[in-house]
Chains A and B, each alone.
Chain A
Amino acid sequence: MAIRTQPVTVNLGPQHPSTHGVFRMRVMFDGEEIVDVEPVFGYLHRGSEKLAEERTYTQIVTLTDRMDYVSSMLNNQAYILAVEKLAGIEPSPRGVWLRMIASELQRIASHLVATGFLLQDLGALGTPLIYAMRERENILDMFEMLCGARITNSYLRPGGVFMDAPSEFWPALDRGLNDIVNTIDELETYLSGNEIVFSRTKGTAVLPKELLINASITGPMLRASGVDWDLRHRAPYDYYDRISFERKLHTASDNYARYWVRVQEARESVKIIRQCIEQIEPGEVRPSFDDVPRLIRPPVGDAYAAIEGSKGELGFYLVSDGGIAPYRMHVRASSLINLTLLRDMLIGGQFGDLFVTFGSVDLNMGEVDR
């Protein structure tokens, strides 16, 4: 006998412990099954793009920090690349190496946070999260050595970085990289083979790769479906063409594959940083102020530069009218665009998987709403 049921609509968020910020989903349940999802954005909208129109090119670096606040170095890098492309600035080699090291460190930190919060969403009461956060803390300490700030770094400048790394940074980096490898090993021992983690993430929210590409989804989510698309490899920016690294792919395209790809990518980032340390050469960290003045006036025109961010393709589109501030700045926010398939992933699934799937997208509300 079929039991007659009635769907129930529940508002999850904006104040909810697992929405990774202030995000709201209007979810319709039939029992434990999800019937309909309607995402509601905008609770963290700060109008960064409008603010950028009233700031000079250097000042905007501080705005980009506050978009995806767990990978500010990567945001800096994407923005600076767009500015350099727009203004035709030739960066200093040492500055480029330093910003590559910083952004790869940031990528590890971001992937660790994503893994920790995925486990938090799975219901582990904080232990894996704190293990991941403890390692991120070391990375933030290194950022503090580099630029004096931990979260909102604003380390990069057009043409390089604003300050050379202090001498104590290099031994700390070396120690830190060993610690990171150990932590990832430790996390993988506990998580990758854990039956509960495995049974809850395997085969949930599977997305075909054609659909992922059609929905403009990039980054670890795309690579978890087996598509070998990494901008560091396919469209090398900075000095990524002098670095050799593996692109880690998984074929399952489910929540477990996304977790797995992130953990493996963090390992690869360690290798990339080691190669950067070998190849870095002494010199100036940014061009002199004669070449790149504080007030940059790029020629009239537009430029789009994208990097492989921690969440996917992170692009900045800048339009210049020849003035000291961009005429228009647009951010191609991977967190927002990766949510395009949220409904496809959730509908038909279980309530228990809702936030796991949500967490496996690895989004950051600061970037979604900007």
Chain B
Amino acid sequence: MTTVWSGNALAEAIEAFAPGSVESSAGTDVWLKPESISTVCEGLKTRSEFKFDLLSSLTAVDYIDHFEVVYHLTSLPMNASAVLKSRVGHGRTEASIASVVPIWRGADYQEREVWDLMGIRFDGHPNHKRIMLWEGYPGHPLRKDYVTYDQSIASTAPGAAGSQEGAE
């Protein structure tokens, strides 16, 4: 059975090798400061007490006044899992966080998906482009302030009448 790291224990362990990187912790979750995400993830992957070699899932949630990037990590050698979270883009401006693609390549498409649908920029991503929607799509649909049923987006599609030549 996969054991789940408790948030407090994980926060303590992270603080031990990367002081000042944890914002808070509760339950199974640890909130990290966005600027320290690279250091912490690198440590969580390589250090012998964690060995989180598999990034299960990477996603983001829009909490209106900020976004939360959620990382679900799995350690195969220890059969353990942990949840990291990071609050970015307070006040809905400049939502960006360091990319973890250099650490886990599995984050590649997931970060692109988060950028495409949620609009959080991942600094250092090798191919920072939209994945599901076309370049030039207005807005990021999974944001809570996105206006659904807006028919005018069709005109921005590549090849649509009235669009300047598509984002090829």
Contacts and interface: CB of A to CB of B under 8 A. Distances in A.
Interface of A: 41-42, 45, 47, 49-50, 211, 213-218, 227, 229, 234-236, 241, 302, 304, 306, 313, 315, 317, 319, 327-328, 330, 332, 336-337, 339-341, 369-370
A41 B108 CA distance: 13
Contacts, number: 93
Given A49-B117, A304-B72, A337-B109, A216 B1 contact: no
Interface residues of B, number: 34
A315 B57 contact: yes
B32 interface: no
A63 to B, nearest CB: 15
Interface in B112-168: 113, 117, 130-134, 141-142, 146, 148
23 contacts: A42-B130, A49-B117, A49-B142, A50-B146, A213-B54, A214-B104, A214-B106, A216-B54, A216-B107, A235-B2, A302-B61, A304-B83, A306-B56, A315-B72, A328-B142, A330-B59, A330-B70, A332-B57, A332-B72, A336-B110, A337-B109, A337-B110, A341-B105
Give the 10 A-B residue pairs with the shortest CB-CB distance, closest first: A216-B106, A235-B2, A330-B59, A42-B132, A332-B57, A45-B132, A215-B105, A328-B61, A215-B106, A216-B55
A304 B57 contact: yes
Interface in B63-117: 70, 72, 76, 79, 81, 83, 104-110, 113, 117
**Secondary structure dominating the interface of A:** mixed
- Central interface residue in B2, B62, B109, B142, by most chain A CB within 10 Å: B109
A337 B2 CA distance: 21
Contacts of B108: 215, 340
B148 A42 contact: no
Given A45-B133, A315-B56, A340-B106, A327 B72 contact: no
Interface of B: 1-2, 53-57, 59, 61-62, 70, 72, 76, 79, 81, 83, 104-110, 113, 117, 130-134, 141-142, 146, 148
A328 B114 CA distance: 13
